[in-house]
Amino acid sequence: MAGKKDYVNSIVSNNREQIEYHIKEILSLIGENVDREGLFETPARVTRMYEEIFAGYDVDPRDVLGVTFDEQHEELVIVKDIVYYSQCEHHMAPFFGKVHIGYIPSGKIAGLSKFARLVDAITRRLQVQERITSQIADIMDEVLRPNGIMVVVDGEHLCMCARGVKKYGSKTVTSAVRGEFRKSSALRSEFLSLIKD
């Protein structure tokens, strides 16, 4: 995902005309005049947006962490406040927030930017926050084989804030723990204290 072209979903690009057609149909079905000036380019704009926000489908998240470095650092490493944007698979409404990742290497580390790329690869698709949290931890465990991993994700979901119960400002927090983090409450506490603002 190291370049702008990597942030484009080729499936959407290859089906541009069909997607634009269906967006136009939806606009018409909700009562809009699809020929008015403000909506004339909307189907094309939505399709271009889909290319970007669903770019994760074109990326294997494991490949993002594929280049690792041998390093005998066995202390806690934290990458925090990684901003993400995703789409709820239940309502196709946006949700967004921050990801905080902590791990204890076991001889291999990844470049720090790779964690942000991993988050993008996982969140730029239809998702639920619980799955995002687990997938980040599981992929790190599979690729880096660290001694421990802890991932905390917070999110604000428009499907809850802007519709339905309409509880604006409510947040969801999820966590995943693996290895040493699961065994040690002191380690979990250290991580949680260090990610606080």
Q: Is 72 part of the annotated catalytic residue set?
A: no
Among candidate residues 157, 161, 180, 190, the one labeled active-site is 157
Which residue ranges make up the annotated binding site?
88, 91, 159
Domain that holds residue 53: 4-57
Residues 46 and 124 in one domain: no
CATH number of the structural domain spanning residue 52: 1.10.286.10
Residues 6+ positions from 25 with CB-CB distance below 8 Å: none
CA distance 142 to 101: 15
Same structural domain for residues 131 and 167?
A: yes
User: Where is the domain boundary, 57, 75, 93?
Assistant: 57
Q: Please indicate, yes or no, whether residues 162 and 108 belong to a single structural domain of this protein.
A: yes
Q: Is the dihedral of CA 135, 139, 142, 146 positive or negative?
A: negative
160 and 95 within one domain: yes
Could you tell me whether strands 148-157 and 172-179 are parallel, antiparallel, or unpaired per DSSP bridges? Answer: antiparallel
Q: Establish whether 161 is a catalytic residue.
A: no
Are residues 75 and 44 part of one domain?
no
> 95 with 87: CB under 8 angstroms?
yes
Domain finish residue from 36, 57, 78: 57
Q: Write the CATH number for 171.
A: 3.30.1130.10
Tens of pLDDT along the chain (197 residues)?
A: 444 445 789 999 999 999 999 999 999 999 999 999 999 999 999 999 999 999 999 999 999 987 888 888 889 999 999 999 999 999 999 999 999 999 999 999 999 999 999 999 999 999 999 999 999 999 999 999 999 999 999 999 998 877 677 777 789 999 999 999 999 999 999 999 999 97
Q: What is the 3-state secondary structure (H, E, C) of 132-153?
A: HHHHHHHHHHHHHCCCEEEEEE
Q: Is residue 154 part of a domain?
A: yes
From 57, 83, 101, the end of a domain falls on 57
Does any domain span residue 62?
no
Which one is catalytic: 88, 100, 135, 180?
88
Set 22, 52, 91, 161: catalytic member: 91
Residues 159 and 132 occupy one common structural domain: yes
Point out which residues pair with 153 in neighbouring strands: 99, 174
> Residue 179: beta bridge partners?
148
CB 110, CB 117: distance < 8 Å? no
- 51 and 102 fall within a common domain: no
Annotation marks residue 73 as catalytic: no
What is the distance of C-alpha 176 from the center of its chain?
A: 15
For this structure, is 129 an active site residue? yes
Number of domains observed in the structure of the chain: 2
Under a CB-based contact definition with an 8 Å cutoff, are residues 98 and 140 in contact?
A: no
Enter the pTM of the model.
0.91
**Both tokens of residue 142?**
């599979």
Residues 6+ apart with CB under 8 A from 9: 50, 51, 52, 54, 55, 56, 57, 58
Q: Are residues 92 and 111 in the same domain?
A: yes
Residues 75 and 152 in one domain: yes
